[in-house]
Structure 1
Amino acid sequence: MSQLILFAIDVGAVALLVFGLYFPRHRRRDLVVAYLGVNVGVLAVASALSASNVGAGLGLGLALFGVLSIIRLRSTELDQHEVAYYFSALALGILGALSTTQLWLSAGLMGLILVVMFLGDHPRLLRHYRHQILVLDSAVTDHLALVAQLEQLLGGRVHVVTVQRLDLVNETTVVDVRYSVKGRPSSATAAAGTAAPAGAHR
C-alpha cells in the first residue's frame, strides 16, 4: 500500500511539474510526452529492479545513461531550462521507486524539486536579463564601438558580447550578446529580437 502511495505521489508531482509549471510557461507540447515518459519509465525500471536480484544501482545507472544519450543525441534544440525539467522528471521517478520506509523523505524531496523549479524558472526571476544572437549589417572591429552600437540598438546595458563571426567582405558581424533592460522592452529591443537569426533567450 505504501508503495502505491509513493507511486501516486510521483504521478501527482510529475503532473504538477509538466502541466502546472513547464507547459503554462513555455508552451512546448512535444516535450510534455517526453517528460512524462522519462518519469514513468524510470519509475517502472527502478521499481522492477528494486524487487529483483539485479543491483538497483546498475539499473539506475543504465537509465541515467539512456536519458543522457537521448538528450545528447536529440534532433531538436533544447534550452538549458528544458534540460533541467528533464532531470527533474527523472529525479521524481527515482524518488518514487525508493523503499517505502523512506516514504515521507521521498515525498519531501519531490516537493523540494517542485519548489526549486517553481522559483528557479519563475518569469520574474532575473527578468530584465536577455540573451540574443544578432547579425549586424556592418563589420565592427572595435570592441567599445561594438558595445555602444549594441546598447543603442537593444536599449539596454550590454554585460557580455562575443563576436562569433566577422565578415569584412560582406560587411557583417555576428555577435552573441547578453544584456539587461529596465522595465518593459523598448521598440528597438523588440525589433532586434525579431531580426535575430537565433531565438532570444531570457
Structure 2
Amino acid sequence: MSETSAEDRIWTVPNLLSFLRLLGVPVFLWLVLGPKEDGWAIAILAVAGFTDWLDGKIARAFNQTSRLGRIIDPAADKLYVFATIVGLLLRDVIPWWLVVVILGRELFVACFIPVLRKHGYKALQVHYLGKAAMFNLMYAFPLLFLASHTGWYADIARIVGWAFALWGTGLYWWAGVLYVVQVLQLVTSAKKE
C-alpha cells in the first residue's frame, strides 16, 4: 500500500473511535439537559477523554494516521468542549466568564484561518500544547460536574477540576497564540519567495 493511499484510509480503528466520540456529543447534551442523568453524562465524558488519547496512540503505533483522522479527531475534541461548556453553563456548574474565555480563543484562532487558506495552506499540524490543553479540559469538565453535587467527593473534585480548567484554558490560549505565530511565519516566508 502506498503512502498516498494510506493517507486516504477511512476505516481505521482511530477513525472509528473518533466517529464514536462524535456520536457521543448529542447523547451527552441530552443526558445533561434532558433527564439530568449526570452519572451517565460524566461516564460519556470520561470515555471521550480516554478514546481521544487512545486513538492517537493507536494511530501512531500501528501507522493508522489518515487525512480524515486529522480532521475528525480535533473536530470531536472541539465539539465536546463546546457541548460540555454549554451544558455546564446552562446547569450553572461553570461561570459564564469561563465560557467566554474558551470560546474567545476559538474566535481568535478562527480569524486567521482565511489568511492560511489565502496562502494555499489547508491546516496546520496540531501542536502538542493544544493536545495538552484538550487533555486538561476533558478532565476538568467531569470533575467540575462532580463538584456541583453534594457528595463527599465534591470539594476534592472542585479543587482538582478548577486546577485542570485553569491550566487547560491557559494552555488552550497559549496553543492558539502559537498557531497564529505559525500562520504569520508561513505568510511571511511565502511573501519572501
Q: What is the TM-score with the length of structure 1 in the denominator?
A: 0.30
TM-score (normalizing by structure 2): 0.31
For the pair shown, the structure with the greater C-alpha radius of gyration is 1
Return the structure number with greater helix share: 2
